[in-house]
Amino acid sequence: MNYLSPILRNNRTFLLAYDHGLEHGPEDFLLEKSAEPEFILELAEKGNFSGVIFQKGIAEKYYQSWQNIVPLIVKLNGKTKWQAGEPYSPLICSPEYAKDLGAVAVGYTIYPGSKFEHLMFKEFGQVVEKAHNLGMAVIAWLYPRGKKIDNENNPQVVCYAARIGLELGADMIKIKWPLERKYLEKAVNLARPVKVVLAGGERISEEEFFKRTKEVIVSGGCGLAVGRNIWQRKNALEIAKKLAKIIYQR
Protein backbone atom coordinates (compact mmCIF):
# COMPACT_ATOMS: atom_id res chain seq x y z
CA MET A 1 0.00 0.00 0.00
CA ASN A 2 1.31 3.45 -0.86
CA TYR A 3 0.38 5.43 2.21
CA LEU A 4 1.77 8.56 0.63
CA SER A 5 -0.51 8.74 -2.41
CA PRO A 6 -2.94 11.34 -0.91
CA ILE A 7 -0.09 13.85 -0.62
CA LEU A 8 1.69 13.08 -3.89
CA ARG A 9 1.17 14.77 -7.25
CA ASN A 10 3.15 13.29 -10.08
CA ASN A 11 5.03 11.37 -7.38
CA ARG A 12 6.25 14.62 -5.83
CA THR A 13 5.08 16.67 -2.90
CA PHE A 14 4.84 20.33 -1.92
CA LEU A 15 3.71 20.77 1.68
CA LEU A 16 2.92 24.01 3.46
CA ALA A 17 4.34 23.79 7.00
CA TYR A 18 2.50 25.82 9.62
CA ASP A 19 3.42 24.53 13.08
CA HIS A 20 5.56 27.59 13.79
CA GLY A 21 3.07 29.19 16.21
CA LEU A 22 4.07 26.44 18.62
CA GLU A 23 7.71 25.88 17.67
CA HIS A 24 8.84 29.50 17.35
CA GLY A 25 5.95 31.71 18.45
CA PRO A 26 4.28 34.73 16.84
CA GLU A 27 7.62 36.35 15.98
CA ASP A 28 7.60 34.24 12.80
CA PHE A 29 4.37 35.88 11.63
CA LEU A 30 6.04 38.90 10.06
CA LEU A 31 2.98 39.73 8.01
CA GLU A 32 -0.24 40.16 9.95
CA LYS A 33 -2.22 37.74 7.79
CA SER A 34 0.34 34.96 8.29
CA ALA A 35 -1.02 34.57 11.84
CA GLU A 36 -4.41 33.58 10.33
CA PRO A 37 -4.91 29.88 9.60
CA GLU A 38 -7.63 30.69 6.99
CA PHE A 39 -5.07 32.66 5.01
CA ILE A 40 -2.74 29.63 5.10
CA LEU A 41 -5.50 27.27 3.94
CA GLU A 42 -6.39 29.55 1.03
CA LEU A 43 -2.73 29.82 0.14
CA ALA A 44 -2.39 26.03 0.26
CA GLU A 45 -5.32 25.61 -2.12
CA LYS A 46 -4.52 28.37 -4.60
CA GLY A 47 -0.76 27.80 -4.44
CA ASN A 48 -1.12 24.14 -5.54
CA PHE A 49 0.30 22.63 -2.37
CA SER A 50 -0.24 18.89 -1.99
CA GLY A 51 -0.91 19.27 1.73
CA VAL A 52 -0.89 21.54 4.75
CA ILE A 53 0.79 20.74 8.08
CA PHE A 54 -0.99 21.79 11.28
CA GLN A 55 -0.79 21.01 14.93
CA LYS A 56 -3.91 19.43 16.40
CA GLY A 57 -5.46 22.64 17.77
CA ILE A 58 -5.41 24.49 14.44
CA ALA A 59 -6.73 21.40 12.69
CA GLU A 60 -9.62 21.16 15.19
CA LYS A 61 -10.61 24.79 14.90
CA TYR A 62 -10.03 25.57 11.23
CA TYR A 63 -9.78 22.51 9.01
CA GLN A 64 -13.27 21.00 8.98
CA SER A 65 -14.64 22.93 6.00
CA TRP A 66 -11.42 22.31 4.04
CA GLN A 67 -11.63 18.52 3.92
CA ASN A 68 -11.45 17.34 0.30
CA ILE A 69 -9.90 20.67 -0.71
CA VAL A 70 -6.44 20.56 0.86
CA PRO A 71 -4.99 17.32 2.31
CA LEU A 72 -4.14 17.59 6.01
CA ILE A 73 -1.01 16.37 7.77
CA VAL A 74 -1.24 16.59 11.56
CA LYS A 75 1.99 17.07 13.46
CA LEU A 76 1.77 14.71 16.42
CA ASN A 77 4.49 16.15 18.63
CA GLY A 78 5.88 19.59 19.30
CA LYS A 79 7.60 21.89 21.73
CA THR A 80 8.27 25.59 22.23
CA LYS A 81 11.52 27.47 21.64
CA TRP A 82 11.79 27.91 25.41
CA GLN A 83 12.64 24.27 26.05
CA ALA A 84 16.23 24.25 27.27
CA GLY A 85 18.83 21.50 27.37
CA GLU A 86 18.64 18.22 25.52
CA PRO A 87 15.69 18.39 23.13
CA TYR A 88 12.61 16.21 23.42
CA SER A 89 9.34 16.82 21.63
CA PRO A 90 6.46 15.04 23.37
CA LEU A 91 3.55 13.35 21.66
CA ILE A 92 0.50 15.62 21.96
CA CYS A 93 -1.89 13.97 19.52
CA SER A 94 -2.57 10.32 18.69
CA PRO A 95 -2.71 8.97 15.12
CA GLU A 96 -6.34 7.98 15.79
CA TYR A 97 -7.32 11.53 16.74
CA ALA A 98 -5.42 12.93 13.75
CA LYS A 99 -7.44 10.61 11.51
CA ASP A 100 -10.69 11.85 13.12
CA LEU A 101 -9.60 15.41 12.34
CA GLY A 102 -9.32 14.47 8.67
CA ALA A 103 -5.57 13.84 8.40
CA VAL A 104 -4.26 11.70 5.55
CA ALA A 105 -0.76 11.65 7.04
CA VAL A 106 0.97 12.47 10.31
CA GLY A 107 4.29 14.07 11.21
CA TYR A 108 6.67 13.54 14.09
CA THR A 109 9.96 15.32 14.94
CA ILE A 110 12.89 13.22 16.10
CA TYR A 111 16.06 14.79 17.49
CA PRO A 112 18.68 12.06 16.95
CA GLY A 113 21.67 12.54 19.22
CA SER A 114 19.58 13.99 22.04
CA LYS A 115 19.78 12.39 25.46
CA PHE A 116 16.08 11.66 24.94
CA GLU A 117 16.46 10.05 21.53
CA HIS A 118 15.33 6.68 22.94
CA LEU A 119 11.97 8.15 24.02
CA MET A 120 11.36 9.65 20.59
CA PHE A 121 12.41 6.42 18.85
CA LYS A 122 9.96 4.48 21.01
CA GLU A 123 7.07 6.89 20.43
CA PHE A 124 7.85 7.10 16.74
CA GLY A 125 7.84 3.30 16.42
CA GLN A 126 4.36 3.18 17.96
CA VAL A 127 3.16 6.06 15.78
CA VAL A 128 4.28 4.27 12.60
CA GLU A 129 2.49 1.04 13.50
CA LYS A 130 -0.75 2.80 14.48
CA ALA A 131 -0.72 5.19 11.52
CA HIS A 132 -0.15 2.38 9.03
CA ASN A 133 -3.01 0.39 10.55
CA LEU A 134 -5.18 3.45 9.90
CA GLY A 135 -3.87 3.79 6.32
CA MET A 136 -1.89 6.97 7.01
CA ALA A 137 1.65 7.88 6.01
CA VAL A 138 4.23 9.02 8.56
CA ILE A 139 6.60 11.90 7.85
CA ALA A 140 9.64 12.14 10.14
CA TRP A 141 11.25 15.51 10.76
CA LEU A 142 14.87 14.45 11.40
CA TYR A 143 16.79 17.19 13.14
CA PRO A 144 19.95 15.91 14.91
CA ARG A 145 20.42 18.00 18.05
CA GLY A 146 21.78 17.95 21.57
CA LYS A 147 25.19 18.11 23.25
CA LYS A 148 26.58 15.32 21.08
CA ILE A 149 25.81 17.20 17.85
CA ASP A 150 28.36 19.92 17.14
CA ASN A 151 26.71 21.17 13.99
CA GLU A 152 23.32 19.95 12.83
CA ASN A 153 24.00 21.34 9.35
CA ASN A 154 27.17 19.30 8.91
CA PRO A 155 26.49 17.35 5.67
CA GLN A 156 27.55 14.03 7.22
CA VAL A 157 25.16 14.63 10.10
CA VAL A 158 22.30 15.41 7.69
CA CYS A 159 23.09 12.24 5.69
CA TYR A 160 23.10 10.16 8.88
CA ALA A 161 19.72 11.67 9.78
CA ALA A 162 18.33 10.65 6.40
CA ARG A 163 19.36 7.04 6.95
CA ILE A 164 17.83 7.03 10.44
CA GLY A 165 14.47 7.74 8.79
CA LEU A 166 14.73 4.60 6.69
CA GLU A 167 15.87 2.51 9.66
CA LEU A 168 12.97 3.71 11.83
CA GLY A 169 10.22 3.04 9.30
CA ALA A 170 9.26 6.53 8.06
CA ASP A 171 7.41 6.85 4.74
CA MET A 172 8.86 10.28 4.07
CA ILE A 173 11.61 12.21 5.80
CA LYS A 174 12.14 15.89 6.17
CA ILE A 175 15.71 17.12 6.56
CA LYS A 176 17.53 20.45 6.59
CA TRP A 177 19.51 21.69 3.62
CA PRO A 178 22.86 19.76 3.66
CA LEU A 179 24.82 22.70 2.18
CA GLU A 180 25.94 21.00 -1.05
CA ARG A 181 24.11 19.16 -3.77
CA LYS A 182 26.39 16.11 -3.61
CA TYR A 183 25.34 15.55 0.00
CA LEU A 184 21.71 15.98 -0.89
CA GLU A 185 22.11 13.19 -3.46
CA LYS A 186 23.85 11.10 -0.83
CA ALA A 187 21.03 11.67 1.66
CA VAL A 188 18.43 10.70 -0.96
CA ASN A 189 20.36 7.49 -1.74
CA LEU A 190 20.84 6.60 1.91
CA ALA A 191 17.11 6.95 2.60
CA ARG A 192 15.86 5.19 -0.55
CA PRO A 193 13.04 4.17 -1.07
CA VAL A 194 11.88 6.59 1.63
CA LYS A 195 11.05 9.91 0.04
CA VAL A 196 13.08 12.93 1.05
CA VAL A 197 11.73 16.47 1.41
CA LEU A 198 13.58 19.60 2.46
CA ALA A 199 12.64 22.13 5.10
CA GLY A 200 12.95 25.73 4.01
CA GLY A 201 14.63 27.24 7.07
CA GLU A 202 14.84 30.97 7.63
CA ARG A 203 13.76 33.17 4.77
CA ILE A 204 16.41 33.52 2.06
CA SER A 205 16.36 35.37 -1.25
CA GLU A 206 13.80 34.23 -3.81
CA GLU A 207 16.57 33.52 -6.25
CA GLU A 208 18.43 31.25 -3.85
CA PHE A 209 15.24 29.49 -2.86
CA PHE A 210 14.34 28.69 -6.46
CA LYS A 211 17.88 27.43 -7.03
CA ARG A 212 17.66 25.10 -4.02
CA THR A 213 14.25 23.82 -5.06
CA LYS A 214 15.59 22.88 -8.49
CA GLU A 215 18.53 21.12 -6.85
CA VAL A 216 16.19 19.13 -4.62
CA ILE A 217 14.39 17.82 -7.68
CA VAL A 218 17.47 17.04 -9.80
CA SER A 219 19.03 15.30 -6.80
CA GLY A 220 16.13 12.85 -6.61
CA GLY A 221 14.33 14.58 -3.74
CA CYS A 222 10.55 14.41 -3.60
CA GLY A 223 9.87 18.09 -2.91
CA LEU A 224 9.54 20.57 -0.09
CA ALA A 225 7.80 20.88 3.27
CA VAL A 226 8.26 24.56 3.79
CA GLY A 227 6.84 27.42 5.82
CA ARG A 228 8.66 30.71 6.33
CA ASN A 229 10.06 30.94 2.81
CA ILE A 230 6.47 31.05 1.57
CA TRP A 231 4.19 32.80 4.04
CA GLN A 232 6.73 35.38 5.21
CA ARG A 233 6.61 36.93 1.74
CA LYS A 234 4.13 39.48 0.45
CA ASN A 235 4.05 37.62 -2.88
CA ALA A 236 3.52 34.21 -1.22
CA LEU A 237 0.95 32.99 -3.76
CA GLU A 238 3.01 33.96 -6.77
CA ILE A 239 6.12 32.24 -5.33
CA ALA A 240 4.14 29.14 -4.40
CA LYS A 241 2.74 28.73 -7.91
CA LYS A 242 6.21 29.00 -9.43
CA LEU A 243 7.66 26.49 -6.96
CA ALA A 244 4.79 24.08 -7.56
CA LYS A 245 5.61 24.08 -11.28
CA ILE A 246 9.26 23.24 -10.60
CA ILE A 247 8.33 20.48 -8.19
CA TYR A 248 5.54 18.69 -10.09
CA GLN A 249 7.03 19.03 -13.57
CA ARG A 250 8.43 15.81 -15.14
| Positions in the binding site for ligand FBP (CB under 6 A) | 17, 19-20, 23-24, 141, 143, 199-201, 226-229
Nearer to ligand FBP, 19 or 123 (CB): 19
- Beta carbon of residue 111, minimum distance to ligand FBP (angstroms, whole number): 9
The 10 Å Cβ neighbour count of residue 118 is: 9
Nearer to ligand FBP, 95 or 107 (CB): 107
- Beta carbon of residue 21, minimum distance to ligand FBP (angstroms, whole number): 9
Q: Is 174 a catalytic residue?
A: yes
The 10 Å Cβ neighbour count of residue 92 is: 15
Active-site choice (88, 111, 143, 183)? 143
Nearer to ligand FBP, 70 or 199 (CB): 199
- Beta carbon of residue 173, minimum distance to ligand FBP (angstroms, whole number): 12
- Beta carbon of residue 156, minimum distance to ligand FBP (angstroms, whole number): 19
Nearer to ligand FBP, 129 or 226 (CB): 226
- Beta carbon of residue 145, minimum distance to ligand FBP (angstroms, whole number): 8
Task: Name the residue among 89, 62, 86, 64 with its Cα closest to residue 76.
Answer: 89
Q: Output the residue with the shortest Cβ distance to ligand FBP.
A: 200
Q: Is 234 a catalytic residue?
A: no
Angle among Cα 101, 105, 27 to the nearest 5 degrees reads 75
Nearer to ligand FBP, 3 or 143 (CB): 143
The 10 Å Cβ neighbour count of residue 79 is: 15
Task: Give the distance between the most distant pair of CA atoms in the chain.
Answer: 45
Active-site choice (174, 176, 186, 195)? 174
What residues are labeled active site? 143, 174
